[in-house]
Amino acid sequence: MRHVVTFHYTLRDPQGRLIDTSTGGEPVNFLEGAGQVIDGLETQLKGVPAGTKTRLQVPAAQAYGERDPEQVQKVLRALLPVEGELKPGDQFRAGDDHFAPVVTVVAVEGDSVMLDANHPLAGVDLTFDVEIVATRPASPEELAHGHVHGPGGACH
């Protein structure tokens, strides 16, 4: 049986720096097996009862993957879908499609730009402090649609 899990999280890098948190906002909902959270986190949250507070370590390979040096490439500036000046650290979507990867500018070298298409957290081991707010069986509609619906699983 697949479940809907609702949880709060605080995400930190190996040096303990805060990356993201849901604290002070809405908790996250996900449908088990739907690929809505990183694999290593989903695996460790499976079967954890509501009310549990825990710290989870997720290695890079089970999070956003290891860094792939082949994802770093030099591209002619004129071919990029971005207007204006670019500088190292800038990020933009590499195409018009909302599925196009987000790339990071590594360097600007004359009329070329070095781009990194790795996820910004690729190669980073992650630490999650989580609090399971609720769990419930997924509704037939949620299973059919592949995502969480409203309270109780009803489609609104």
CATH number at residue 59: 3.10.50.40
Q: Are residues 131 and 59 in the same domain?
A: yes
56 and 103 inside one domain: no
Query: Are 27 and 95 within one domain?
Result: no
Domain count, the chain: 2
* 42 in the same domain as 84: no
pLDDT at site 11: 98
Domain holding 46, by residue range, is 3-64+122-153
Could you read off the pLDDT tens digit of each residue along the chain, which spans 156 residues?
A: 899 999 999 999 999 999 999 999 999 999 999 989 999 999 999 999 999 999 999 999 999 999 999 999 999 999 888 888 999 999 998 888 888 888 999 999 999 999 999 999 999 999 999 999 999 999 988 989 888 887 655 555
User: What is residue 53's predicted lDDT score, i.e. its pLDDT?
Assistant: 98
The reply to whether the predicted model has a pTM over 0.75 is yes
What is the C-alpha to C-alpha distance for residues 91 and 106, in angstroms, rounded to an integer? 10
Same domain, yes or no: 54 and 77: no
Does residue 103 sit in the same domain as residue 31? no
Q: What is the dihedral of CA 76, 82, 85, 87, to 10 degrees?
A: -70
CATH number at residue 79: 2.40.10.330
Do 92 and 45 share a structural domain? no
